[in-house]
Chains A and B, each alone.
Chain A
Amino acid sequence: MKMKKKQAWVLFLIMAIAAGLLLMGCGDQDKEAEGKTVIEMVQYKPEAVNVFAEFEKEFNETHDDIYLKIDSPNDAMAILKTRFIREDNPDIIGIGGDINYSNFLDAEMLMDISDFDGLADIKENYLQMNKDLEYVPQDGVYAVPYMANAAGILYNRDMFKKHGWKVPTTWDELIALCKQIESKGILPMYFGFKDSWTTLAPWNAIAVDLCEPDLTYQVNSGETKFSEHYAEVAEKEKELLAFAQKNPVAQGYNGACTAFARGESAMYVIGNYAIPQIRSVSPDMNIGSFVFPASNDAEKNILNSGNDLMFCVMDTCENKEAAYEVLSYMLSDESVSKYLADQSAVPCKEGDFPIVPELTEMSKYIENGLVADYQDHHYPSEMAVDALIQTYLLDNSANATEKFMKKFDTEWVRYNKDILAKVKAYEEGEASHE
């Protein structure tokens, strides 16, 4: 009896392992890749997982010598950095034009791709945005901008039409509009601040109207302080809370998208990247968008647009030609159009791509280049500015803004210590050369 019990245990464990091995055997992709050059891409936009799956399929059907493998993981930046720590680099990374790019570039992890033909078709101002992200100026090009986003305010076109509301062009008009909407018993805005990153959407959209685009550079070289510029941005974002649901941190990004999609609010301060998510809830919604009017001078209000998705080839990539082939495929007019249709984005490639219907109100800005990059693309991620803003928005004390600004300035110095030193060393080096 006792012996039996023990045998049962051993048998159970062996069965577990056997079952494990058996189950893992199924679903192997390796066969397809046999004898081909494998290019592995990790891209960071999980909402675009479907269109990238299509790209992967189509690319592999049309190429006999290259096998493309695309990963679109959840929380991709964390996974990507974990892989970098493990030195298990993919060949191509699809990332945003933000501080991560600056860091990867600074760590000399990216390949200079200035000899890639496709660069000639990319709009100049998006290439320039990447130059601005370099801590110290570098030679060469390290990323192909693919898609830009446009952040401002999304609105429910049908609802606006029904009540005869007009798109505002100045801050005062926006506030008046909110009051008007409220008087009809409709919630003007909805926020998903439980996901702290969404606090940056209004923040960036307001900041591009009120601050200089090279503000961080000015701060890093000691010319000014953030507190002199951001106080107004902070206060204006806080003012919006009065026009949103009672507890702005009760819902996350998904929840806010769902609420807006169900017509619970007339507007939603977020970027175009939220459109697919909203469509997944109500596919036929008539969504419009306009530039955030943070200034009372309508001329000063410009579109908040940055590199939302760009491709970098890793320095460790062994098959540069194959990687370029993948990039060329991604940049073909067909692929770009396919992406645009799926994700309602703004292409970085020159060409006759129609502006997606949701963004028609912004076309004037896109075509004339009245755009400025996100301020948060320069913030170090470990400083967690989004959480600082979230804390500030929930802080109801009288000197909240003052406290927040003071904190912003001190934290900035602390988290950018190494960068500040680098910039200083570079500038001194430049000076001594002259």
Chain B
Amino acid sequence: MSKATINEGAVGGRTANRIINILLVIGCLTVAFPLYMTVIIAFKKPSEMTNDVAGALGFPSSWSFSNFAEAMEVTDFWHSLGNSLLLTGATVIICVILHSLAGYLIGRKMARIKAFKAFYLYLISGMFVPFAVLMMPLVKQTAEIGIANRFGVIVLYVVFFMPMNVMLYSGYLSNIPTALDEASHVDGAGVWQTFWKIIFPNMKPMHATVAVLTAMSTWNDVMTPLVIMSGTDENTLPLAQLNFQTQFGTNYNLAFASYLLALLPILIFYVICQKQIINGVVNGAVK
């Protein structure tokens, strides 16, 4: 901080920075408080919950995991977690491969061939279509062709994220010189080989972005599995919270233990890959 007089931010002064620092730390409480409350309530017994603030927010008299055991049992936790992992994992892999391919195919040709430009605009226009608009016909349609199940949900995700991802990939393509394609072509490689051997590895930074964006949207999505899979005994983690509300009844401790369990996987993932996640989100938005 040798050049204290010249500031990075818009507001100046060393004391000013101190104040900002303190305010920001205090501001963190708004983030921390709901999470703190969740943890505290999840560990308590129903009898410790009184009607005043202290009853809800004080430390539990003993830290017991019995609420969690019960919540796992009630919400069929492992099964729901399995579904969430499966849906997210499969969606991300398919999206990365299929959408980067589509982005490559379109991005390379759309400057010169009008038809490809039209395809591009057609795909991108899909961004304007909210899921709520397509929901009812999709429920009918997936049922008619017999994919009102996890597979169908994956298909819907792959299609739903396509406009955004194709835009990201074809935009990124300008960073990869066409000379690479040509060299590969001269070596006798076909379009697919060129894509898979040359282009796909070169799109790596964009893969990370797409994977993060797709994974986060898929993991937290409620509406799609709700309408496509409800009543089939298959839940994702968020959907399980919705479907088991009645079983929780007035037992908030059980409910919060279940909420905490539902939040934990993504929190752990965030702690490990914080940098990639933040970069991914920023890249996705700014590009």
Binding site for B on A (CB under 8 A): 2, 6, 9, 13-14, 16-17, 19-24, 26-27, 42, 46-47, 49, 71, 73-75, 78-80, 82-83, 85-88, 254-255, 257-258, 277, 280-281
Query: Are A24 and B79 closer than 8 Å at their CB atoms?
Result: yes
Bound Cα distance from A96 to B82, whole angstroms: 35
Give the interface segment out of B16-24, B56-64, B102-110, B246-254.
B246-254
Which residue on chain A has the smallest CB distance to residue B148? A86
| Highest count of chain A CB atoms <10 Å: which of B86, B136, B139, B201 | B86
Per CB-CB distance, the 8 closest pairs between chain A and chain B, nearest first, are: A23-B82, A20-B86, A86-B143, A20-B85, A16-B89, A17-B89, A46-B246, A24-B82
Q: With A27-B79, A88-B231 given, can you name 9 additional A-B contacts, CB distance below 8 Å?
A: A13-B92, A13-B93, A17-B93, A19-B82, A23-B79, A24-B83, A27-B76, A80-B231, A85-B140
Which residue on chain A has the smallest CB distance to residue B232? A88
Query: Are B250 and A254 closer than 8 Å at their CB atoms?
Result: yes
Query: Are B230 and A254 closer than 8 Å at their CB atoms?
Result: no
Which residue on chain B has the smallest CB distance to residue A19? B85
Query: Are B231 and A42 closer than 8 Å at their CB atoms?
Result: yes
**Cross-chain pairs A/B with CB under 8 angstroms, 12 sampled:** A13-B89, A20-B82, A24-B83, A26-B78, A47-B246, A71-B231, A71-B233, A79-B230, A80-B231, A82-B139, A88-B232, A280-B249
What is the distance, in angstroms, from A301's C-beta to the closest C-beta of chain B?
A: 32
Query: Are A254 and B249 closer than 8 Å at their CB atoms?
Result: yes
Contact A9 B82, CB 8 Å, known A85-B140, A280-B250: no
Which residue on chain B has the smallest CB distance to residue A25? B82
Instruction: Report B216-237 residues with CB < 8 Å from chain A CB.
Output: 227, 230-233
> Which residues of B have CB within 8 Å of A280?
249-250
Q: Tally inter-chain residue pairs, CB-CB below 8 A.
A: 100
> Which residues of B have CB within 8 Å of A73?
230-231, 243
> Which residues of A have CB within 8 Å of B211?
9, 13
Which residue on chain B has the smallest CB distance to residue A83? B231
Which residue on chain B has the smallest CB distance to residue A20? B86
Asked if B244 is at the interface (CB within 8 A of a chain A CB), the reply is yes
What is the distance, in angstroms, from A227's C-beta to the closest C-beta of chain B?
A: 35
Contact A83 B230, CB 8 Å, known A74-B242, A254-B250: yes
Query: Are A49 and B247 closer than 8 Å at their CB atoms?
Result: yes
Instruction: Report B56-95 residues with CB < 8 Å from chain A CB.
Output: 76, 78-79, 81-90, 92-93
Bound Cα distance from A71 to B142, whole angstroms: 22
Binding site for A on B (CB under 8 A): 76, 78-79, 81-90, 92-93, 136, 139-140, 142-144, 148, 201, 204, 207-208, 211, 227, 230-233, 242-247, 249-250
Query: Are A74 and B245 closer than 8 Å at their CB atoms?
Result: yes
Which secondary structure dominates chain A's binding surface?
helix
Residue among A6, A78, A83, A281 making CB contact with B204, cutoff 8 Å: A6
> Which residues of A have CB within 8 Å of B227?
82
Query: Are A86 and B139 closer than 8 Å at their CB atoms?
Result: yes
> Which residues of B have CB within 8 Å of A254?
249-250
Query: Are A20 and B140 closer than 8 Å at their CB atoms?
Result: no
Query: Are B78 and A23 closer than 8 Å at their CB atoms?
Result: yes
Contact A87 B85, CB 8 Å, known A26-B79, A74-B243, A74-B245: no
Query: Are A21 and B82 closer than 8 Å at their CB atoms?
Result: yes
What is the distance, in angstroms, from B20's C-beta to the closest C-beta of chain A?
A: 34
Query: Are A17 and B247 closer than 8 Å at their CB atoms?
Result: no
Bound Cα distance from A371 to B221, whole angstroms: 47
What is the distance, in angstroms, from A150's C-beta to the closest C-beta of chain B?
A: 22
Query: Are A20 and B84 closer than 8 Å at their CB atoms?
Result: yes
Contact A74 B82, CB 8 Å, known A9-B208, A13-B89: no
> Which residues of A have CB within 8 Å of B148?
86, 88
> Which residues of A have CB within 8 Å of B204?
2, 6
Contact A16 B85, CB 8 Å, known A2-B204, A85-B140, A86-B139: yes
Bound Cα distance from A27 to B79, whole angstroms: 8
Query: Are B231 and A20 closer than 8 Å at their CB atoms?
Result: no
Query: Are A82 and B230 closer than 8 Å at their CB atoms?
Result: yes
What is the distance, in angstroms, from B95's C-beta to the closest C-beta of chain A?
A: 11
What is the distance, in angstroms, from B66's C-beta to the closest C-beta of chain A?
A: 18
What is the distance, in angstroms, from B198's C-beta to the closest C-beta of chain A?
A: 15
> Which residues of A have CB within 8 Å of B81?
20, 23
What is the distance, in angstroms, from A48's C-beta to the closest C-beta of chain B?
A: 11
Which residue on chain B has the smallest CB distance to residue A40? B231
Residue among A20, A78, A83, A281 making CB contact with B89, cutoff 8 Å: A20
Which residue on chain B has the smallest CB distance to residue A29? B233
What is the distance, in angstroms, from B248's C-beta to the closest C-beta of chain A?
A: 9
Which residue on chain B has the smallest CB distance to residue A45? B246
> Which residues of A have CB within 8 Å of B140?
85-86
| Highest count of chain B CB atoms <10 Å: which of A9, A46, A257 | A9
> Which residues of A have CB within 8 Å of B93?
13, 17
Which residue on chain A has the smallest CB distance to residue B244? A74
